[in-house]
Amino acid sequence: MAKRPASVDDSILELYDTSVTFSMDRGTSRVLNDVTFDIRQEEILGVVGESGSGKSMFASSLLDAVVEPGVVSGEILYRTDAGKRVNMLDLTHEELRQLRWEEISMVFQGAQSSFNPTMRIREHFELVLEAHNAPINEGIEHARELISDLYMDPDRVLDSYPHELSGGMKQRALITLSLVLKPNVLVMDEPTAALDLLMQQSILTLLEDLQEKYNLTIIFITHDLPLVAGLSDRLAVMYAFEFIEFGPADDILHKPTHPYTRALLRSVPNLDAPLEEMTPIEGSAPDPVDIPSGCTYHERCPLATEICETEDPHFHAVSNEHETACYHWEDSEEEIPFADTTEYGEQSSIEGSQSENPVISLDDVEVHFEDGGGILNLFEEPDTVYAVDGIDLDIYDNDVVALVGESGCGKTTLGKTAIGVQRPTGGSLKYRDQDVWDARDGNGSVDIPFKEIRRSLQIIHQDPGSSLNPNRKVLTTLESPLKRWNKDMSMGNRRERIHALLNIVGMNPPEDYAQRYPHQLSGGEKQRVALIRALLMNPDLILADEAVSALDVSLRVEMMDLMLELQNLFDTSYLFISHDLANARYLAGNAGGRIGVMYLGQIVEIGPVEEILQNPQHPYTKVLMWATADIDDESDGDGEEAPIRGIDIPDAKNPPSGCRFHTRCPEARETCINQDPEQFDTGHEHKTACFRVCDDDHPYWDSEPIAGVSEEQ
């Protein structure tokens, strides 16, 4: 792609003709393609794009940290504190080692894999300080200050092993570690991808505070454009290993001109756009070994003409600091319009096709675990983890129930209990009026054998890669359940059925995909195989546990559309687990289903999708809506504080008394400390476990606000 002149007056990093290549048997893989770009001092730059677009290679190249046998070429100039520009690619190994933590630091995606599990957090800080000949005591004091800035207890964090911290705490500890030597630049590669939305938003807010306090330059890499929108000064969009549009964050969000950027925004599930207006991007990204000539997006672009196929587009100035690499940028707004969100409030719920008879019924279900004790703790009493605590829920034929909530709230445990994988410690689970565990244990009169129940309740795991045997071809993986449960089916019939399902989910030619191994599939293709495996048993209910969270935002709508299509074909129901309200709205909303909001083992609000989102009653539901990044809300980033007290969810080993949300609720009163609210019916099949929906004569309204809580109601 043609280059633009870099503005070097206020830049701290400049890239010129920078490429990253890998030599492969089938050719040279170019995963960063002649990029020229500048990064300004003390700015927050958001870099967005689909998986495989080159974002991580761009991040690694900024530190000359591309793993072998990758080769970085071109120039990467860094302005030192003394004002001197040095080419990172010319530095010796020792010079790079010093520069990487002292001047440019990096936060990787997986906090757990970044820490040594046998070392306390304090030891990690000491190792970094020693390696750079920095004073240990002074460095630890700075670490304590940083930890406090991130709303954690320094003593607890420093004295803990990694496994003793929650995911959000580990990620914040990793951010602290990256800043302990006071670098000028912080490169963050998908640092919040594994966290739920509330923790993501909390960390983004903390990053903004850190950037201002320590005068940092932050490069934030993500596939989730709405997530980083409110944080960034500028946004840069990557496609096929190069930048295709960049500019002020507001311009890129609300006035994008590149067809890819507009298509990307149209494909993102959100809370405002009409459901029918969210559409996936047709086609797939180019192969790095065979990058197309001309505009790399032309094969998927509805505006493409002959010139797009043959000539690289130059960057065109759209407005001040907003540039786009497209020949037809002036026509993109008309040809690829955004949805009109002004009519969202008038949308009505979609009528579902649910039956009146439940497939499964959970009655006062509890799942309590013992944690601790054992050989290593012979003299300690084990703690009880209250993972699920008194839940009633019915799921019907052709139903979709989407459970949302923070990590650790019990969603997955409840889901596994609902499909008979996890035995409840209290209450009952029934499948079409048959107690599942009585059938399993052979207690009493059993009308439906457990074998039939087991086949009727299936699961799709969050990570399709880890749920597929890497040593088995797709065909072998999909044949296994048929061989087990349909022993009379011939090999020819098995393969005919598998090929038919591969064809239905768009994996064509099916004969080719059937012979592939998991590593030869994309993330979306792996998830389709997992979906087929669940459907082969013609189940009545599928637990989809974060089934789309590992996919690019541009692929989530496509995957959920497929799930809805297959629901119509197979008359199945979904228990859909997600930490993302926008995904829950899309799947459950299109099926006329329900959203259930979970907090610390309890469902605090449940009802039809549009009723929950347009008329949320529980303060925690409002928190989740606040945390859901909204590309259409022009007030994003204007400093609106989170409607919650505290960042971290309480420990399920010691849940708060009364209403479990009262320790974080801005509306909590003394009554909430002592009384656990039941689910109150607020109409339209909408139930909420909160005293605020009660009549004015309820004791809640006469009790005193909890200290630190606003008295404004």
Please give the full DSSP string across 560-590, using - where no structure is assigned.
HHHHHHHHHHHT-EEEEEES-HHHHHHHHHH
Sequence-distant (≥ 6) Cβ neighbours of residue 627 within 8 angstroms: 197, 198, 200, 201, 642
658: left (phi over 0), alpha (psi -120 to 50) or beta: left
Percent of the chain with pLDDT over 70: 92
pLDDT at 1 over 60: no
246 pLDDT tier (thresholds 50, 70, 90):
very high
Which of 481-490, 622-631, 669-678 holds the top average pLDDT? 669-678
Does residue 4 have a pLDDT over 50? no
pLDDT band at 638 (very low <50, low <70, confident <90, very high): very low
State the Cα–Cα distance between residues 263 and 554, nearest whole angstrom: 9
- What would the pLDDT profile of 10-25 be if each residue is shown by its tens digit? 899 999 999 999 987 7
Which pLDDT score is estimated for 527? 86
Is the pLDDT score of 610 beyond 70? yes
Binned at pLDDT 50, 70 and 90, residue 647 comes out as: confident
Rounded Cα distance, 202 and 200, in Å:
5
**pLDDT at position 601 over 50:** yes
pLDDT at 485: 82
Higher pLDDT, 380 or 178: 178
pLDDT at residue number 629: 65
Instruction: Report the candidate in 586, 48, 46, 592 with the shortest Cα–Cα distance to residue 270.
Output: 586
Average pLDDT of the residues in 301-327: 95
Cβ proximity of 220 and 58 under 8 Å:
no
In the 8-state DSSP scheme, what is residue 117? T
Helix (H) or strand (E) holding 32: strand 27-40
The size of the chain, in residues, is 713
Sequence-ordered alpha helix ranges (H) in 238-292: 249-254, 259-266
> Is-contact 213 139, C-beta < 8 A?
no
**What is the mean predicted confidence (pLDDT) over 155-169?**
89
pTM of the entire predicted model: 0.86
DSSP state of 702: G
Tell me the C-alpha distance between 601 and 183, whole Å.
41
Instruction: Give the lowest-confidence range in 64-68, 537-541, 698-702.
Output: 64-68
**Phi, psi for 51 (deg, rounded to 5):** -60, 135
More confident: 116 or 373: 116
Q: Euclidean distance between the first and final Cα of the chain, in Å?
A: 56
Residue 372 structure tokens? 């601790």
Query: Percent of the chain, pLDDT > 90?
Result: 60
Task: Provide the pLDDT for residue 493.
Answer: 92
Mean pLDDT of the chain: 88
Which of the pair, 651 or 635, is modelled with greater confidence?
651
More confident residue, 515 or 354: 515
- Map out the domains of the chain with their CATH numbers: 11-103+183-335 (3.40.50.300), 114-182 (no CATH), 358-471+517-631+641-702 (3.40.50.300)
Lowest mean pLDDT among 229-233, 326-330, 660-664: 229-233
Weakest mean pLDDT among 393-407, 645-659, 674-688 = 645-659
- The residues, ordered by sequence, that sit 6+ positions from 419 with a Cβ below 8 Å of its Cβ are 360, 457, 458, 459, 541, 543, 575
504-558: per-residue pLDDT in tens?
888 888 999 999 998 888 778 888 899 999 998 889 999 999 888 777 777 888 8
Report, as an integer, the average pLDDT of 383-404.
Answer: 94
Q: What is the pLDDT of residue 710?
A: 45
Q: Is the pLDDT of residue 450 over 80?
A: yes
**Of 584, 593, 612, which is closest to residue 686 (Cα–Cα)?**
612
CA distance 47 to 245: 10
| β pairing state of 217-222 and 242-248 | unpaired
Q: Would residue 647 be called left, alpha or beta, if left means φ above 0 and alpha means ψ between -120 and 50 degrees?
A: alpha
- The residues, any chain, with a CB within 8 Å of residue 215's CB and separated by 6 or more, are 42, 184
Residue 24, classed as helix, strand or coil, is strand
Confidence (pLDDT) at 5: 40
Nearest-5° angle of CA 304, CA 308, CA 310?
A: 140
Q: Residue 711: what pLDDT?
A: 42
